[in-house]
Amino acid sequence: MNRDREKRESELIKLISAEKLPKHVAIIMDGNGRWARKQGLPRIAGHREGMNTLKEIITCANELGINVVTLYAFSTENWKRPSWEVEFLMRLPEEYLKTELQPLIEKNVVIRVMGDLEQLPAVTKRAIKNALQATKDNTGMILNFALNYGGRSEILNAVKKIAERVQEGALKPEEISEDLFTRYLYTGDLPDPDLLIRPSGELRISNFLLWQLAYTELWFTTTLWPDFKKEHFLKAILDYQERERRFGGINKI
C-alpha cells in the first residue's frame, strides 16, 4: 500500500509547476479528535498522530520550495477544552521540538510563532524561545506556528498599537493605510497566504488569519489531519495551480 502511495505521490509531483507554487500555504490542522474516536482511542492519541502528519507535510513543503508555511496549532478559543486536553496540547511544542529542532536547523528552516505567547506555560515558552533563537539566522523556509492565536485578537492588538502611536502624535489617522495596518499584524513581513488548507470536513475559518485570507484560495477535504498525507498536500497544490486568481479584476476578455 505504501508503494502505491509513493507511486501516486511521484506522479503528482511531476504535474506540479515550479513557477506557480504558492509562496505561502496556511493549514488548519483539524480532525485529530475525530480520528482518535474512530480508532477507539483517547483524543490525545489523535494529537500525537497529527504530529506525524505535521512532520511529513513540512518535509514535503520544504522539498517543493514553498517559502512560508503557517500552521494553526492552538486557537484562543481552544482554552474552552477540558484541562487535560489543553495541558497535553501545551506540551506538544516542546515534544515536537525535542526531536525536530535539529533536523529543521539542518534544513535551514526559520521557526516563527505567532499568538499571545504570554499565557503559555513556562516550559513551552522556553522551548519556543530556544527554537526561535536557534533558527533566527537561517535563510530557508519559514515555518510559522499559530499558537494561542486568534484572528480577531490579532486585529485588536494591531488597532491598539496604532491608536497608541496616533495618541503620541507619531502617526496621523490619514496615514493608516492597508499596508501600514498589515505591518502591525503578527504576519507583518510575510506575504498573505496564497492557499489555505483545512482538513476534517469543516467548512469554516475558525478565527484564523481573518485579515490575511482576503484573497486566499481555499481548499477543503474531509480527510482528517492524522490521515492527511503528502499526496493530499500535493493534490491541494495542484488544484491551486488550476485556479484563476483575479483579485477583483479580469484576466481574460
| Residues 189, 84: Cα–Cα separation, whole Å | 36
- Of the candidates 32, 78, 144, 148, the residue annotated as catalytic is 78
30 forms part of the interface with ligand IPE (CB under 6 A): yes
Q: What residues numbered 36-75 form the site for ligand IPE, per CB under 6 A? A: 72-75
Number of residues that bind Mg ion (CB under 5 A): 1
Q: Where are the beta strands (DSSP E) in the chain?
A: 24-28, 68-75, 110-114, 142-149, 195-198, 217-220
Residue in 240, 232, 227 with CA at minimum distance from that of residue 196: 240
78 forms part of the interface with ligand IPE (CB under 6 A): yes
Residue 30 among the catalytic residues:
yes
CB contact burial 193-219 (16+ within 10 A = b; e otherwise): bbbbbbbbeeeebebbbebbbeebbeb
154 forms part of the interface with Mg ion (CB under 5 A): no
- Of the candidates 2, 4, 30, 108, the residue annotated as catalytic is 30
144 forms part of the interface with ligand IPE (CB under 6 A): no
Q: What residues numbered 16-75 form the site for Mg ion, per CB under 5 A? A: 30
Number of residues that bind ligand IPE (CB under 6 A): 17
| Residues 130, 124: Cα–Cα separation, whole Å | 10
Q: Which of 6, 175, 202, 239 binds ligand IPE (CB under 6 A)?
A: 202
CB-based contacts of 186, cutoff 8 Å, min separation 6: 114, 115, 149, 154
By rule CB under 6 A, what string of x and - marks binding of each residue 213-242 to ligand IPE?
------------------------------
Residue 78 among the catalytic residues:
yes
Residues in contact with ligand IPE by the rule CB under 6 A: 28-34, 72-75, 78, 89, 200, 202, 204, 206
Catalytic residues: 30, 78
